[in-house]
Amino acid sequence: MFLLRRLHKWFGLVLGIQLLLWAISGAVMAMIDHHKVTGGHVLAEVKPSPAPTQVLSLAQVSQAIGAPVSQIELRPLQDQWVFAATTAEGIKLVDPLSAAPVVIDAERAKALATAAFNGSAAITLVTRVEKPTLETRDFALPAWRVEFADKERSTFILNAVTGELAGAKTNTWRLWDVFWMIHIMDYTDRQSFNHPLIIIIATGCLWLALSGFIMLFQAFRRQDFAYLHDGVEWLQERRRR
């Protein structure tokens, strides 16, 4: 029992720090406004223009692209409509009236982000992202990263192929993401909560709880239960009266 007490004391010191970090990070994440974490407060409502009634056929689009099209979808893209044609090489955007290719370059990405932004701040940076980063780890790549000069440092992530707005990242999300990293103990990718470190720490916390219960019951004496028995008898006596 002496060895168990010593182990419990030192393990409790080490694991107690992590338990405190779990409690703090969980509390902070719960207190931060979820709407702001998702970036919904910086998004404007974009109303598409009326869809064209006369568009090219699937065969015409396939011929213009020069490849078989397995699926085609008419989508709004800012102030125009485009065909998203699915081919063996991926999705290609074309004009539904002329079949001219629609390319999502830096200028188009800036225009799309500006239309989706509900503020008036200027754009400070436009970057094409080819490899996953902390901000783009959940999105399909390649993507365009468009950053604004507002107090939230709002950053829009747009799909570089389709032009769709994949997500919005703000300073509120960046703060939340730090505490998410601390909570799941994934200090690199901030995605996994099944990695060896958290499994070891969680197992250690389980052992700490079990050893604590063992020592707790060992600390009880027969006299402690006698006090409990006397208390029950006293309550029963009061009921009889």
* Phi, psi dihedrals of residue 121, rounded to the nearest 5°: -65, 150
CA 2/CA 19 separation, integer angstroms: 24
Q: Is the pLDDT of residue 58 over 80?
A: yes
Domain ranges of the chain: 1-35+178-216, 40-169
Q: What is the helix, strand, coil percentage profile of the chain, to 5? A: 45, 20, 35
Residue 95's pLDDT band (boundaries 50, 70, 90)? very high
Greater model confidence, 150 or 78: 150
Per-residue model confidence (pLDDT) at position 1: 64
Least confident range of 87-101, 167-181, 213-227: 213-227
Quote the percentage of the chain above a pLDDT of 90.
Answer: 55
CA 100/CA 97 separation, integer angstroms: 8
Per-residue model confidence (pLDDT) at position 180: 96
Query: Minimal CA–CA distance to 85: which of 112, 60, 52?
Result: 60
Greater model confidence, 144 or 228: 144
**What average pLDDT does range 47-68 have in this prediction?**
87
Per-residue model confidence (pLDDT) at position 49: 85
